[in-house]
Structure 1
Amino acid sequence: MAGGLTDETAVTLRGADSDTVRSALETGESLPGTRGFAGEIDGHLVRDVLGRQPLFFDGDDPDKWAFDRATLTDPTPLSAGHVVEPDGGQREVWSLPTPVAHDGPAAVTGLGEAIDASLGSVESDGLAIAFSGGIDSALLAARLDAPLYVAGFPDSHDVKAARESARLLGREVRVVELDHDALVETVPPVVRATGRTNTMDVEIALPLYLVARRAAADGFDRLAVGQGADELFGGYAKVARAPEDPRVEADTVRCARREILGSVPAQLERDVLALRGAGVEPVAPLLDDRVVEAGLALSGRLLVSDRGERKYALRLSAREWLPDRITFREKKALQYGTLVARELDRLARQAGFKRRMDDHVGQYIESLVE
Structure 2
Amino acid sequence: MLQQQHDLADPMLKRAQLRRLLEAAVAGTAADGIQLSAGLDTSILATVAAQQGRRLTGICVSVADGPALDEPYAELVAKRLGLDLHVIRPKLSDLVEKMPALIRILGTFDPMELRNSIASYVALEKARDIGIRTVLTGDGADELFAGYSYMFNMPSTDLPKYIQHLNEVMYFSSRVMAPCLSIAVELPYIREEIRSLALTLTTEDLVGERDGKRFGKKILREAFADVLPNEITWRAKTPIEFGSGSTALPRFAAETIGDEHFDEECKSASENDNVTIRDKEHLLYYRMYRQIFPPPGEQPEGTKTCAQCYGPVPRLDMSFCRICGAYPI
Give the structure-1-normalised TM-score: 0.65
Q: Provide the secondary structure at the position in 1 that maps to 2:30.
A: coil
The match for 1:175 is 87
Q: CA deviation at 1:290?
A: 1.7
CA contact (8 A) 1:163 1:172 kept: no
CA contact (8 A) 2:60 2:87 kept: yes
**2:116 is matched by which residue type in structure 1?**
I
Q: CA deviation at 1:316?
A: 0.9
Asked which structure has the greater RCO (Cα within 8 Å, sep 6+), the reply is 2
Correspondence list, 1:128-147, <5 A: 128-144=33-49, 145=54, 146-147=56-57
Q: Provide the secondary structure at the position in 1 that maps to 2:9.
A: coil
Q: CA deviation at 1:262?
A: 4.1
Task: Return the structure number with greater helix share.
Answer: 2
- Residue 152 of structure 1, aligned match among 38, 50, 62: 62
- Residue 139 of structure 2, aligned match among 210, 218, 227: 227
The match for 2:255 is 350
Q: CA deviation at 1:320?
A: 4.2
Query: Could you say if the C-alpha distance between residues 309 and 347 of structure 1 is closer, same or farther in structure 2, counting changes exceeding 3 Å?
Result: closer
CA contact (8 A) 1:129 1:147 kept: yes
Partners of 2:82 and 2:9 lie apart in 1 by: 35
Partners of 1:353 and 1:254 lie apart in 2 by: 46
Instruction: Give the count of matched residue pairs.
Output: 259
Correspondence list, 1:28-177, <5 A: 102-124=9-31, 127-144=32-49, 145=54, 146-154=56-64, 155-177=67-89
Q: Structure 2: where are the runs of 5+ without partners?
A: 1-6, 264-276, 292-329
Partners of 1:353 and 1:278 lie apart in 2 by: 34
Structure 1 residues 15-73: Cα deviation after superposition (integer angstroms, max 9, x where no partner) = xxxxxxxxxxxxxxxxxxxxxxxxxxxxxxxxxxxxxxxxxxxxxxxxxxxxxxxxxxx
Partners of 1:271 and 1:180 lie apart in 2 by: 21
Taking every aligned residue pair, what percent have the same amino acid on both sides?
21
Partners of 2:21 and 2:145 lie apart in 1 by: 14
The match for 1:237 is 149
Runs of 4+ in 1 over 6 A off after TM superposition: none
Q: Structure 1: where are the runs of 5+ without partners?
A: 1-99, 244-249
Q: CA deviation at 1:263?
A: 3.8
The match for 1:293 is 196
The match for 1:327 is 233
Correspondence list, 1:175-324, <5 A: 175-243=87-155, 251-264=157-170, 267-268=171-172, 270-305=173-208, 307=210, 308-324=214-230
Q: Give the superposed CA RMSD.
A: 2.3
Query: Could you say if the C-alpha distance between residues 153 and 313 of structure 1 is closer, same or farther in structure 2, counting changes exceeding 3 Å?
Result: same
Partners of 2:107 and 2:69 lie apart in 1 by: 28
Q: CA deviation at 1:282?
A: 1.2
